[in-house]
Homo-oligomer: A and B are copies of this chain.
Amino acid sequence: MTETADETRRSIGARRNPASADAIREAAQAVLLEAGYAGFSIEAVARRARAGKPTIYRWWPSKAALLIDVYQRQKRVDNPDTGNLEDDLVQFLQSLFRHWRETPAGSIFRSVIAEAQTDEAAATALTDYAQDRRAHTGRMVARAIERGEVRADVEPTMVADLVASYAWVHLLTGRIDEDEATTRVAIRAIVRGILATPAK
């Protein structure tokens, strides 16, 4: 997350050198941050990490695998619990947008999505990841159901899907600097609906 290794690394015997793996991951992150997905190549990472290309290919079978590994190591956004679902979801989205804006996470995630359109492994990893995140985000809804705020027949992951989709598409179309008011309007639609006369 911090800096490129300068000291020369060597083999530490017939087993993987974690320092090399770390240096490669950090270099990958740095390259993504500085040059974006367009400039992200195994050669660039190897140069930056002062590692040999075969060392990278020894541990990550493809560009996609490295990308996903780097992405998985990102800190996750937490799961607010204010006692009010709308506030929870607004706070969640705002935290997520901030996280994407202020760390390499947003850039990396966009890259993973792009890579998933080309690479089968990345596609699978992305699908799995999305499912996992829906479950996680759905916990906010589940808590709201438990406290009687939300109807019992609502599927938490369905709501999480709506919220996450909103976030992803904002990331992909460069709209993650959205202010809280705008976010709240969208969340409120999901929570309260948009009908003039609420359905029975």
Interface positions, chain A 134-151, Cβ under 8 Å from B, are 141, 148-151
Whether A198 lies near B193 (C-beta < 8 A) is yes
Question: Is A162 a contact partner of B150 (Cβ separation < 8 A)?
Answer: no
Which of B116, B148, B174, B195 contacts A191, CB < 8 Å?
A: B195
Among residues of B, the one whose C-beta sits closest to the C-beta of A141 is: B194
For the complex, give the distance between the alpha carbons of A166 and B162 in Å.
6
Q: Is A19 an interface position by the 8 A CB rule? A: no
Contact A185 B127, beta carbon cutoff 8 Å = no
* A29 CB within 8 Å of chain B: no
| Of the residues B111, B127, B155, B193, contact of A193 by C-beta under 8 Å | B193
A185 to B169, CA, bound (A): 20
Complex contacts, A113 vs chain B, CB 8 Å: 113-114, 117, 172
Q: Which residues of A from 19 to 60 have beta carbons under 8 Å from B?
A: 36-38
Q: How far is the CA of A141 from the CA of B194 in the complex (A)?
A: 10
Is the Cβ of A198 less than 8 Å from the Cβ of B189? no
Within 8 A of B (CB), among A170-200: 170, 172-174, 185-186, 189-196, 198-199
Q: List 10 A-B contacts (CB under 8 A).
A: A114-B114, A116-B172, A141-B194, A148-B196, A161-B186, A168-B169, A169-B169, A190-B194, A191-B195, A198-B199
Q: Please report A residues at the B interface, Cβ cutoff 8 Å.
A: 36-38, 110-111, 113-119, 123, 126-127, 130, 141, 148-152, 154-155, 158-159, 161-162, 164-166, 168-170, 172-174, 185-186, 189-196, 198-199
